[in-house]
Amino acid sequence: MSSHSPKEIDRRAFLDPLLVHAVGQIRHFRVENAIDKERIDHVWITLDIGLQPWVTVSINTRSLRNLDAGFDSRIRLGLLRGKWETLPPQGWEKWNLFNYLAYETRHNIFYEHRERNALEEILRDFSEEALLMEVWGAPYWNQGPGIHQIHSRRASCAVPLDIVDLDGALRFYFEKEREWVMVLLKFCEQL
């Protein structure tokens, strides 16, 4: 994996692609805090990819758009498990495409609805146990580099825009049994 600077992330290069891929050690896990607890819909994972500043990974834990439109706001969680032989190197790179269908045609992935609190707990547990985390998603910059859109980008109940090949996902690498777990997230009625 190529990094674009020996010490710092180049903002322009980071924001240029529609999709990025990054690998790093998890430094912090935080659930969004809000006065109105019903409006909480994210967790943030801070990732040390070997460059400064650290990258904030923003993950939806429910859909406020679906909630506000009267649809099911829960996220559907799919997990894919495997074994690793070597860990991927820390860093980031431009990624051309990521499509859930490519994994779903090769594996039987079952998606289960998760309430916000349950999904937060799963992601917290994975974050606390993982050696590394790998992420695919859309880059953004808000007081530093970030990656969001960590879910299917296909049309959903409340979002008619159908974006293909720019899905986002997480993969956690664990020391125990040299296992990895890929996290795939879908909203209401996404294919």
The domain spans of the chain are 11-186
So what's the pLDDT on residue 125? 98
Residue carrying the six token digits 């649809």: 71
Cα gap 29→31, rounded to integer Å: 7
Tokens standing for residue 100: 């859930």
Sequence length of the chain is 191
So what's the pLDDT on residue 4? 47
Q: pLDDT (tens digit, 0 to 9) for every residue of the chain, 191 residues total?
A: 544 445 899 999 999 999 999 999 999 999 999 888 889 999 999 999 999 999 999 999 999 999 999 999 999 999 999 999 999 999 999 999 999 999 999 999 999 999 999 999 999 999 999 999 999 999 999 999 999 999 999 999 999 999 999 999 999 999 999 999 999 999 999 98
Cα gap 118→51, rounded to integer Å: 32
Q: Are strands 42-48 and 55-60 parallel, antiparallel or unpaired?
A: antiparallel
So what's the pLDDT on residue 1? 54
How buried is 64 (Cβ within 10 angstroms: 0-12 exposed, 13-18 middle, 19+ buried)?
Answer: middle
Cα gap 130→34, rounded to integer Å: 27
DSSP-derived 3-state class of residue 112: strand
13 φ/ψ angles, rounded to the nearest 5 degrees? -65, -40
Tokens standing for residue 12: 């322009």
Q: What amino acid occupies position 112? A: E
Cα gap 173→116, rounded to integer Å: 23
Q: How many CB atoms lie within 10 A of CB 119?
A: 22
Beta strands in the chain (DSSP E): 20-31, 42-48, 55-60, 75-83, 91-94, 111-114, 130-141, 145-148, 169-174, 179-186
Cα gap 183→82, rounded to integer Å: 12
